[in-house]
Amino acid sequence: MGFAERNWAGNVRFGAARFHEPRTVDEVQTIVASATKVRAVGSRHSFNTIADTVDDQVSLSALSRVAEIDTQQRTVMVDGGIKYEELIPYLHDHGMALANLASLPHITVAGACATATHGSGVTNGNLATAVLGMQFVTSEGDLVEISRDHDPGLMDALTVGLGAFGIVTRLTLAIEPTFDVQQTVYEDLPMPTVDGQLDEVMADGYSVSLFTTWRHDHIEQLWRKVRVGPDDEDAPPVAGTRRFGATAATRKLHPIKGLSAVPCTDQLGIAGPWHERLPHFRIGFTPSSGEELQSELFVANEEALEAIAILRSIGEFLAPVLQISEIRAVAADSMWLSPCHRQASIAFHFTWIPSWLEVEPVLATLESSLAPLLPRPHWGKLSTIPGDVLQTRFERLEAFAELVTEWDPTGKFRNSYLDAVLG
Ligand SMILES: Cc1cc2nc3c(=O)[nH]c(=O)nc-3n(C[C@H](O)[C@H](O)[C@H](O)COP(=O)(O)OP(=O)(O)OC[C@H]3O[C@@H](n4cnc5c(N)ncnc54)[C@H](O)[C@@H]3O)c2cc1C
């Protein structure tokens, strides 16, 4: 991967004095043992300073193999630097699949799980829920392994770990037999349907996403991803077919109006392998708009309609800086810092124009408008919610901070982002 001064969006300039790309776990241990401040970096897709450090930044891009697959036990063990785009074709070739993916496959598994990255689907937890075990290089340079079988409580604490407990050099993930997915995009879902049947709409498929600019009396696009088994009817829906009052598109679409749909995964209801339909964007192409900032807020399912009403009421205020918003469903889980900790959630994502100066005041207003619904922000995206408020939104944050101090007493893995979040 090589040294990169900035993150993917270009809005964060990293402050690391040194950059390392170790080729073995031994080398990772040596770097960490001798460092004062050190931090792992994945594919740099986070929009904030979570992966930054002042001293030693470590990329595991040279450690990106699949170490072992067990199709009987349905597990795969991977190196800490592997990206989904490297893992998923391998799994598919072995007749296996992951339960879900984010909108893009370009990110590392370790980096995605550290921030509770997610896709959509009322029965799908975030990507970290697939993690069954992890190997860490801890602050002293020691190798420690934990697993869901032996240490379920510790796994709940450490899996969405924000990079605070050490460098993850191995992950074991749950896998399942490969499956096909049909993806169909419907246009113009009427708002009264959303207000009356949001639960049904979000549950109408394996993974459902709604795209809106909050400016119309309809949701511009409904992306419906349906699993098709060998015995299922997989004929594509006829163009023009209506679903919840929305109309099946007759051509492939990008979520942002006017952008080319070439980078998007196949639509029009044509069935294909899971990894070529579950992400919105294809391997080898720039995901999303490419020129953007992102934020995301999760609210409990029960609060989703109220959140939609609030966002619609400020739609014109958001408009000058908003490119597109996405609404997704994520299942509840038990991980301490997951935004879906013990609550099935609806996630409200915002793709902004690439100008923090203009976005920040709008985001601050948006976040205070939604504050009565106690939204939890995405750890890898931009937010103006201060650390003391986060303590009230993530009930295990204080316990997490105590555990971080136990694992990393000298604060080797801490950076300014973690200081602000953990206090
Ligand atoms: C275009 C785009 C689309 C996106 N779509 C989605 C989406 O659909 N859903 C969603 O939830 N998010 C999405 N995101 C956000 C993204 O998934 C998260 O920011 C994710 O954490 C990025 O992974 P990364 O590999 O780039 O990690 P980085 O951003 O490089 O790092 C993130 C964190 O992981 C830690 N880390 C990385 N590797 C290791 C390791 N080996 N050991 C310990 N800690 C480690 C870092 O220290 C840091 O704390 C999107 C981002 C972009 C740019």
Structure tokens of 13? 């300039």
Contact 390, 24 (CB under 8 A): no
Considering the chain, what percentage of its residues have pLDDT values greater than 90? 93
Distance 116 CA to ligand 1 centre (A): 8
pLDDT exceeds 80 at position 2: no
132 ligand 1 Cβ < 6 A: no
**CB of 103 closer than 6 A to ligand 1?**
yes
Mean pLDDT of the 84-109 span: 97
Enter the DSSP assignment of 74: T
**CA–CA separation, 116 vs 133, rounded Å?**
15
CB atoms near residue 286 (< 10 Å): 14
Q: Which residues contact 339 (CB under 8 A, 6 or more apart)?
A: 116, 126, 298, 330, 345, 347, 376, 377, 378, 379, 394
pLDDT digits (tens, 9 = 90+) for 38-57: 999 999 999 999 999 999 99
- Binned at pLDDT 50, 70 and 90, residue 285 comes out as confident
Q: Is 113 in the pocket of ligand 1 (CB under 6 A)?
A: no
More reliable by pLDDT, 180 or 423: 180
119 burial via Cβ count (<10 Å: 0-12, 13-18, 19+): buried
In this prediction, residues 167-190 reach a mean pLDDT of 97
For residue 286, which of 309, 324, 260, 312 has the smallest C-alpha distance?
260
Lowest mean pLDDT among 283-297, 367-381, 386-400, 403-417: 283-297
Q: Answer whether 351 contacts ligand 1 (Cβ < 6 A).
A: no
Q: Is 45 in the pocket of ligand 1 (CB under 6 A)?
A: yes
Kindly calculate the radius of gyration of the chain based on its CA atoms and give it in whole angstroms.
21
Which residue lies with its CA nearest to atom 10 of ligand 1? 117
Torsions phi, psi for 43 (to 5 deg): -95, 10
Looking up tokens 């469903």, which residue turns up?
329
Q: How many CB atoms lie within 10 A of CB 393?
A: 17
C-alpha span between 313 and 225 (Å, rounded): 29
- Give yes or no for residue 287 CB within 6 A of ligand 1: yes
Residue 235 has pLDDT above 80, yes or no: no
Residue 175 pLDDT exceeds 90? yes
Quote the ligand 1 centre to 108 CA distance (angstroms).
7
Q: Name the 3-class secondary structure at 294.
A: strand
Express each pLDDT in 265-282 by its tens digit: 999 999 999 999 999 999
Paired residues of 177 in beta bridges: 96
Half-sphere exposure of 407 (CA within 13 A, CB side): 23
pLDDT at residue 318 in the model? 98
Query: Pick from 404, 350, 412: which is nearest to 377 by CA?
Result: 350
Q: Is the CB of 281 under 6 A from ligand 1?
A: no
Q: Is the pLDDT of residue 232 over 70?
A: no
Mean pLDDT of the chain: 96
pLDDT tens profile 355-364: 999 999 999 9
CB neighbour list of residue 45: distance below 8 Å, 6 or more residues apart: 7, 8, 104, 106, 107, 111, 380
| pLDDT average, residue stretch 190-213 | 97
pLDDT of residue 289: 75
Confidence class of residue 233 from pLDDT cuts 50, 70 and 90?
A: low
Q: Rounded to an integer, what distance in angstroms lies between the CA atom of residue 115 and that of residue 281?
A: 20
User: Has residue 423 got a pLDDT over 90?
Assistant: no
Residue 51 C-alpha to ligand 1 middle, in angstroms? 9
**Which atom of ligand 1 is closest in space to residue 103's alpha carbon?**
8
Distance from the Cα of residue 270 to its chain's centroid: 26
- Please report where in the chains the tokens 């492939």 appear, as a residue: 252
Q: Shortest CA distance to 305 belongs to which of 348, 343, 364, 270?
A: 348
Provide the pLDDT for residue 169.
98
Ligand 1 neighbourhood includes 40 CB (under 6 angstroms)? yes
Nearest-CA residue for ligand 1 atom 20 is 112
pTM of the model: 0.97
Nearest partner of 280 among 362, 225, 230, judged by Cα? 225
**Who contacts 309 (Cβ-Cβ below 8 Å, separation ≥6)?**
none
Instruction: Please name the residue that has the structure tokens 């203009």.
Output: 358
Three-class SS state of 261: coil
Please check the confidence at residue 1 and state whether its pLDDT lies above 60.
no
Residue 73 exposed, middle or buried by CB count within 10 Å (0-12, 13-18, 19+): exposed
The helix/strand/coil state of 40 is strand
Paired with 121 in beta bridges are 330
In this model, does residue 288 exceed pLDDT 80?
no
96 has a pLDDT exceeding 80: yes
Question: What mean pLDDT is predicted for residues 198-214?
Answer: 97
Nearest-angstrom CA–CA distance, 72 and 126: 24
Q: Is 125 in the pocket of ligand 1 (CB under 6 A)?
A: no
Q: Would you say the CB of residue 323 lies under 6 angstroms from ligand 1?
A: no
Tell me what pLDDT residue 234 has.
62
Once rounded to an integer, what is the mean pLDDT over residues 99-104? 96
For the chain, the maximum distance between any two Cα atoms, rounded to a whole number of angstroms, is: 63
Token pair 């970096």 is at which residue? 41
